[in-house]
């Protein structure tokens, strides 16, 4: 029996300016050493949930409810306590790797910088300590390391961020859309790398619209639509015997399953609570 | 004789790898022809030259060898005037639809510009009507026309990009990974729309994707670009 790493209960996110509630009453829990996948289409609020967990919601948004990480409520954390936690225990792999990399620095210096500050590696050791990490990720330190972020492909940038995530002893990694815009081959290896992280004992909260990613990572999953969780359970259970019509629609819309658009009536029926 | 809206004959393309002194061959003697209303898939891994082949067919890039025929007219031999005349019937939609719209212009104004470019003597009302009927076909709501490109969701702006292309009455369209950045549910909607419109408007489509399952659903014929060995 594994311990609960993260428990989100009745999380709602409110927008002050637009007077909207893009996330309403979301509850789920993530077990240690397992993956939890949140799936849903654009605008369903899944990225906001990830941002709330990572404490980087934009200023106009406020979170209500509880996000407990190892028993500590993240919503009511002071700035100093946050700094102790984020980056060291909780780590976010963002959707757009560009937003996390400095465009004016060579890749190698960015990775090295994190290793120096977090792990305290000496400058002269850096090269031989980083080389195995890079080769594990199919990158060459002498070639890819010397490039600037704009010279790398999307998949490579993501791998660089993954290398950085290995520097910090983060036990809990939030991954936002790890396969967006990748081709089949790099998608497979990206998912494979995430499974490797699980094998190393890390816990994953994965945000994606790709049901295949959920299937390959295993563990539990939840389907979100319009700010609410419509169905949750173990991955096998949700994908093999979906109960909610929206989940069924989402599975049917995947190209492998005939790519049938979701019935407009199903979507309309689910939008209703917002008007009340 | 079958009529093809676009035909590439014995196309070869290679490029020089930067910094080294060698040529990388993308394909040699590749021939491809698409009939009006036909949806043809183009499949291959990243970097195998899918987009380049699309650009060659559209006359945006030159092949090393071989010819491209638009409506059976050889465009490498046709004069500037003839090419310009046919140019706007051969269109493309991108992976990043936002790049087809200027960021500081409302969508409606951008679409108006396109209609006026094609029919300079049309008045404001007929432009509006034409746009309204096109976006209705794509299940887009009129209110969205007042927005700026960054105020639209990925699926909406891709459909507007499609509307923008359709206002040119194209006979051939290259759809370059139109849905690779979109959710499955939105992707399903857009690909189905594309299939309907291609059949209805008799528009030939080259659908470029790295998702074989998608192409199998959407296209009757799939061209697989394997490095050096294109297989039909």
Tokens of B52: 């380049």
- Phi first, then psi: what are they for A119, rounded to 5°? -95, -15
Q: Quickly state the pLDDT bin for A276 (edges 50, 70, 90).
A: very low
By the 8 A CB rule, do A67 and A8 touch? yes
pLDDT in tens, A17-36: 777 888 999 999 999 999 99
Please name the helix (run of DSSP H) or strand (run of DSSP E) that holds residue A87, with its range, or none. Answer: none
B180 contacts A42? CB cut-off 8 A: no
Provide the whole-model pTM. 0.78
- A249 contacts on B by Cβ (under 8 Å): 185
Please name the helix (run of DSSP H) or strand (run of DSSP E) that holds residue A41, with its range, or none. Answer: none
Q: Which residues pair with B128 in a beta bridge?
A: none
pLDDT in tens, B113-130: 999 988 888 888 989 999
Query: So where are chain A's domains?
Result: 98-168
Pairing assessment for the beta strands A172-176 and A90-93 based on DSSP bridges:
parallel
- B185 contacts on A by Cβ (under 8 Å): 41, 249-250, 253, 261-262
Residue B19 has a pLDDT of 61
| Residue of A181, A184, A261 with shortest CB distance to B188 | A261
Residue spans of beta strands (DSSP E) within chain B: 6-16, 23-34, 39-43, 65-70, 73-74, 90-93, 172-176, 204-209, 221-224
B213 contacts A262? CB cut-off 8 A: no
3-state secondary structure of A205: strand
Q: Quickly state the pLDDT bin for A80 (edges 50, 70, 90).
A: confident
- A260 contacts on B by Cβ (under 8 Å): 188
Q: What is the ipTM of this complex?
A: 0.70
pLDDT in tens, B165-202: 999 999 999 999 888 878 888 889 889 999 999 999 99
Distance from the first to the final alpha carbon of chain A: 41
- Average pLDDT estimate for B44-55: 84
- A42 contacts on B by Cβ (under 8 Å): 153-155, 182-183, 186
Q: Inform me whether the C-beta atom of residue A224 falls under 8 Å from chain B C-beta atoms.
A: no
Which residue, A270, A272, A228, is CA-closest to A249?
A270
Q: Inform me whether the C-beta atom of residue B184 falls under 8 Å from chain A C-beta atoms.
A: yes
- Asked whether the predicted pLDDT for residue B87 surpasses 50, the reply is yes
How many Cβ atoms sit within 10 Å of the Cβ of residue A206?
A: 27
Q: What is the mean pLDDT of chain A?
A: 86
Which residue, B230, B178, B219, B167, is CA-closest to B35?
B219
Distance from the first to the final alpha carbon of chain B: 21
Q: Any residues with CB less than 8 A from the CB of B20 and at least 6 apart, and which?
A: none
pLDDT in tens, A25-74: 999 999 999 999 999 887 788 888 998 998 888 878 888 999 999 888 88
- B153 contacts on A by Cβ (under 8 Å): 42-43
How many Cβ atoms sit within 10 Å of the Cβ of residue A50?
A: 23
Q: Quickly state the pLDDT bin for A13 (edges 50, 70, 90).
A: very high
Burial of B80 from C-beta contacts in 10 A (0-12 / 13-18 / 19+): exposed
Q: Any residues with CB less than 8 A from the CB of B7 and at least 6 apart, and which?
A: B31, B32, B33, B34, B68, B69, B72
- Asked whether the predicted pLDDT for residue B228 surpasses 60, the reply is no
Residue A127 has a pLDDT of 85
A186 contacts B46? CB cut-off 8 A: yes
| Residue of B154, B191, B210 with shortest CB distance to A184 | B210
3-state secondary structure of B194: helix
Q: Inform me whether the C-beta atom of residue A211 falls under 8 Å from chain B C-beta atoms.
A: yes
Residue B230 has a pLDDT of 45
- Asked whether the predicted pLDDT for residue B229 surpasses 70, the reply is no
pLDDT in tens, A127-155: 888 888 888 888 888 888 888 888 887 77
A250 contacts B211? CB cut-off 8 A: no
- Asked whether the predicted pLDDT for residue B232 surpasses 50, the reply is no
């Amino acid at each position: 029996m594994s311990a609960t790493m993260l428990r989100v209960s009745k999380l709602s996110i409110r927008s002050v300016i637009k007077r909207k509630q893009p996330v309403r009453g979301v509850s789920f829990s993530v077990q240690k050493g397992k993956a939890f996948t949140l799936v849903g289409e654009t605008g369903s609020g899944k990225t906001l949930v990830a941002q709330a967990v990572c404490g980087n919601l934009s200023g106009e948004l406020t979170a209500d409810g509880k996000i407990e990480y190892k028993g500590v409520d993240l919503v009511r954390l002071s700035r100093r306590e946050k700094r102790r936690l984020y980056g060291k225990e909780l780590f976010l792999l963002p959707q757009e790797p560009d937003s996390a990399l400095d465009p004016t620095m060579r890749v190698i210096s960015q990775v090295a910088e994190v290793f120096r500050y977090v792990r305290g590696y000496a400058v002269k050791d850096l090269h031989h300590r980083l080389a195995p990490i890079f080769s594990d990720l199919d990158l060459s330190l002498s070639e890819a390391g010397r490039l600037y972020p704009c010279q790398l492909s999307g998949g490579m940038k993501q791998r660089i961020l993954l290398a950085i995530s290995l520097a910090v002893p983060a036990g809990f990694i939030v991954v936002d859309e790890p396969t967006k815009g990748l081709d089949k081959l790099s998608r497979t290896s990206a998912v494979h790398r995430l499974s490797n992280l699980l094998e190393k004992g890390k816990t994953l909260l994965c945000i994606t619209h790709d049901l295949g990613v959920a299937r390959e990572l295993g563990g539990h999953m939840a389907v979100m639509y319009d700010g609410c969780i419509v169905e949750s359970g173990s991955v096998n259970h949700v994908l093999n015997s979906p109960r909610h019509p929206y989940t069924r629609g989402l599975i049917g819309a995947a190209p492998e399953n005939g790519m049938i658009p979701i019935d407009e009536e199903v979507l309309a029926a689910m939008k209703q609570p917002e008007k009340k | 004789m079958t009529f093809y809206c676009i035909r590439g004959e014995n196309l070869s393309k290679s490029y020089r790898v930067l910094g080294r002194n060698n040529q990388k061959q993308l394909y040699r003697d590749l021939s491809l022809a698409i009939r009006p209303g036909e949806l043809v898939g183009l499949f291959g891994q990243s970097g195998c030259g899918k987009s380049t082949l699309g650009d060659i067919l559209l006359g945006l890039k030159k092949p090393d060898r071989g010819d491209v025929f638009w409506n059976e007219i050889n465009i490498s031999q046709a004069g500037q005037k003839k090419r310009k005349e046919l140019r706007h019937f051969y269109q493309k939609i991108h992976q990043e639809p936002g790049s087809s719209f200027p960021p500081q212009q409302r969508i409606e104004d951008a679409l108006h510009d396109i209609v006026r470019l094609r029919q300079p003597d049309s008045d404001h009302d007929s432009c509006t009507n034409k746009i309204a009927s096109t976006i209705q076909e794509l299940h887009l709501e009129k209110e969205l026309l007042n927005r700026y490109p960054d105020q639209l969701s990925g699926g909406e702006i891709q459909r507007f990009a499609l509307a923008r292309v359709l206002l040119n009455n194209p006979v051939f369209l290259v759809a370059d990974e139109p849905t690779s950045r979109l959710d499955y549910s939105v992707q399903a909607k857009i690909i189905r729309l594309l299939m309907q419109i291609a059949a209805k408007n008799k528009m030939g489509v080259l659908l470029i994707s790295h998702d074989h399952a998608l192409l199998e659903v959407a296209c009757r014929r799939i061209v697989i670009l394997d490095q050096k060995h294109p297989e039909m």
